[in-house]
Structure 1
């Protein structure tokens, strides 16, 4: 913003010393420092609030865009329909459940020889 170098600060200090005197200069410098600190905090708070508002607005725009586009539910439903369509048996083939026998390799339940209490 401003380019203030060493010599400009030295000139300001000399003028302040001449105008205020050595007795009031420390108190005036302390007061000026407090006011500058408060001003910086106010500027930082305003900047932070502006950044939050910008991010909130971007989030609202993203959510509105997603609401308008096809949702995840539609994609899941389309995938489910495609999988179910592929899993249906071809016409004329016999489903395995109707054959009446257990599939090969299926073990029969094991019976325990121990008496039940």
Structure 2
């Protein structure tokens, strides 16, 4: 929206709502806009993550079809990334089970 459109909206709001209720209405609308933006950003991040996981999964299938030999660099990179993720999960699981075992003693 341009500057003149905002001025027209402000004048109409001032006439309709009055000077007492206009600041409250502006705060409410700005809160709604912030909420909508945060929801949109979280959905966007989630979709991007799902696309990345799908791409990694497709690359892993290609690597399996090639029997993990003579992989293209992007396939090898995906396989390495998946191995690192699996190791981090395994380490966190092992440390959690170690903590639980030590709490029982």
- Cα deviation for residue 40 of structure 1 reads 0.4
Distance in structure 2 (CA, Å) of the matches to 1:23 and 1:11: 18
1:51 aligned onto 2:48: yes
Distance in structure 1 (CA, Å) of the matches to 2:68 and 2:31: 54
Q: CA RMSD in A?
A: 0.8
Query: Match for residue 69 of structure 1?
Result: 66
Higher radius of gyration, 1 or 2: 1
Distance in structure 2 (CA, Å) of the matches to 1:48 and 1:40: 12
For structure 1, list consecutive stretches of 5 or more residues without a partner in the other structure: 73-117
1:20 aligned onto 2:9: no
Q: Secondary structure at the match of 1:70?
A: coil
Equivalent in 28, 31, 41 of residue 31 of structure 1? 28
Structure with the greater relative contact order (CA < 8 A, sep ≥ 6): 1 or 2?
Answer: 2
Distance in structure 2 (CA, Å) of the matches to 1:26 and 1:51: 37
Q: How many pairs does the alignment contain?
A: 69
| TM-score of the aligned structures, taking structure 1 as reference length | 0.57
After superposing on structure 2, the runs of 4+ consecutive aligned residues of structure 1 that deviate more than 6 Å are none
| TM-score of the aligned structures, taking structure 2 as reference length | 0.64
Q: Deviations over 1:3-43 (max 9, x none)?
A: x1000000000000000000000011001110100000011
For structure 2, list consecutive stretches of 5 or more residues without a partner in the other structure: 70-105
Distance in structure 2 (CA, Å) of the matches to 1:21 and 1:41: 30
